[in-house]
Structure 1
């Protein structure tokens, strides 16, 4: 995905709390800045009571040391105040196309996100958030996107293909047969599969991912739970980045796609690009 000869058109902002596991999102942010290519901005928000010059100098030195190991230049911004508000405010002020963030510890991603500043950033940021869980050993080379054919999932896919221009995208839909406990039959399942397939074809057409530079698009319809189907596709295709859309009103809505987004964040082991659809 290297575009080192292309002019820098994008801006990535990495939000760091300077804890031990921030090396993973830091390395990913640096790698993306080199390969997209993009300008890199690093933002750290000082905790309450650490607003002195010494705290600013220490945070700046810590970031500069890691940048030196990455052989990367970046704009460093140290903020004071509410973590979530300052991260979003800074990302908007620098014109960021992507916010890169990490998780606090190894484990289920949902356990690490729910109720944390990262959850609130995902809910409220108008800018896509890349949640980095894994080490950046390789570039991203394939996007796997979950969809229920909703507007938020369509918006997420379009944003992903703009940020990661040129990468192929594999769109996944999982389905169940309504009232299958009472109506289950192989014939009925195949009828629903056909119906879902036709919806997928229409959905992909409406994305309008065509023309010069358009990504290669593939798609699949499978019977089963969304998390299981998406995970199977990730394993089969050896993908390391999953795309999901979220609703931006008070957290993940308790509807089909909101529940799906939360389940994927909790269950999928890859890095995740979470995209919130802007309110109309």
Structure 2
């Protein structure tokens, strides 16, 4: 049986995008959709489970249950904790969430709850920014050529088996201000290309996923090269891998992923290492 997809909502209208996207993905995968609104202790719905369930049901988009099994849950507790714990309890394959808000210049504010979920979830988290109109068909994936980035790529390829993938690996000359010789840059670029070719050829990536990858070596920082790829190619999903958990059980995203989560104009999938 296909594992369920869990979507979190605070009952605001801005979460319709996340719910619609989660429902679209659940239908395509034959999965149950679990919609969660965690009731904060001390809020107006605290201690009123029937009213909380009614409020959650009233906030659902029309036609949500057409051709889809939907489970509505309204546990009481600190929302980020409840959402990540419920994802583990129901065996969710994916957590879907929206952003807290966004502005006219394309910057997105995730909010404390979304940030917590991304850093503590044991399953991939999809942050929905755009209103969904069709399944994802074009993926931009940033890669540092590590096993973690290969896992993220593999998950995205399995989740979206029809999507084309543009894999971006940025390279730059160390201490570029000191390195004036063109042959140094050429050697660094050639080494980066060899590493990228070896990564694509390795067993880290499934053969079926490889057939859909266009690998691109681009000069510049990871953030710069990924932004450029999104601007030049009409991708609808960005895929990034997190670097696991520290002793305090917080996922290390790195500055590139954190910045892109807030500024990339497209939906973003964060994939933790397997076994976390």
Does the pair score TM above 0.5?
yes
Residue 40 of structure 1 corresponds to: 33
CA–CA separation in structure 1 for the residues paired with 2:62 and 2:5: 14
Matched, 1:98 2:94: yes
Output the CA distance in 1 between the equivalents of 2:166 and 2:62. 33
Kept after mapping to 1: 8 A contact 2:107/2:263: yes
Could you tell me which of 12, 15, 18 is aligned with 1:25? 18
- Cα deviation, 1:209-251, whole Å, max 9, x if unaligned, reads 215x765122101111222211221232210100001122254
- The answer to whether the Cα contact below 8 Å between 1:14 and 1:26 also exists between their aligned partners in 2 is yes
What TM-score, normalized by structure 1, do the two folds share?
0.86
Aligned length: 267
Alignment partners' CA distance in 1, 2:49 and 2:31: 30
Match of 1:240 in 2: 236
Among candidates 109, 132, 139, match of residue 136 of structure 1: 132
Aligned-pair Cα RMSD in Å: 2.4
CA shift at 1:28, angstroms? 0.8
For structure 1, the residue ranges without an aligned partner over 5 or more in a row are 1-7
Following the alignment from structure 1 to structure 2, what is the Cα–Cα distance between the partners of residues 61 and 188? 62
- Please say if residues 242 and 273 of structure 2, whose CA atoms lie closer than 8 Å, have aligned partners that are also in contact: yes
Partner of 2:78: 82
Which of residues 161, 175, 181 in structure 1 aligns to 2:177? 181
Q: Which has the higher helix share?
A: 1
| Structure 1 residue matching 2:265: 3-state secondary structure | coil
Aligned to 1:183, the other structure's residue is in SS state coil
2: CA distance, partners of 1:30 / 1:215: 28
| Alignment partner of 1:210 is 2:210 | no
Partners of 1:111 and 1:231 in 2: CA distance: 15
Kept in 2, the 8 Å contact 1:44–1:78? The answer is yes
C-alpha separation in 1, matches of 2:210 and 2:55: 41
**Pair 1:228 & 2:221 matched:** no
Task: Give the Cα–Cα distance (whole angstroms) in 2 for the partners of residues 195 and 27 of structure 1.
Answer: 44
Would you say the 8 A contact 1:222–1:229 is kept in 2?
Answer: yes
C-alpha distance after superposition, 1:9-65 (max 9, x if no partner): 3421111111120011111111112223422111110121223134323323224x4
Aligned counterparts of 1:194 and 1:44: Cα–Cα separation in 2 = 51
8 Å CA contact 2:169, 2:218 repeated in 1:
yes
Contact 1:29–1:40 (Cα < 8 Å) also in 2: yes
After the TM superposition, which of the residue ranges 95-104 and 189-198 deviates more from structure 2? 189-198
* 2:24 partner SS: helix
Q: Verify: 1:113 aligned to 2:113, yes or no.
A: no
Report the counterpart of residue 66 of structure 1 in structure 2. Answer: 61
Q: Contact between 2:120 and 2:251, CA under 8 Å: does it hold in 1?
A: no
Structure 2's unaligned 5+ residue stretches are none
Counterpart-to-counterpart distance in 1, 2:54 and 2:206: 46
| 1:128–1:276 CA contact under 8 A, matched in 2 | yes
TM-score with structure 2 setting the length: 0.87
Greater mean deviation of Cα atoms: 262-271 or 93-102: 262-271
- Partner-residue secondary structure (3-state), 1:138: coil
- Residues 39-48 or 121-130, more deviating: 39-48
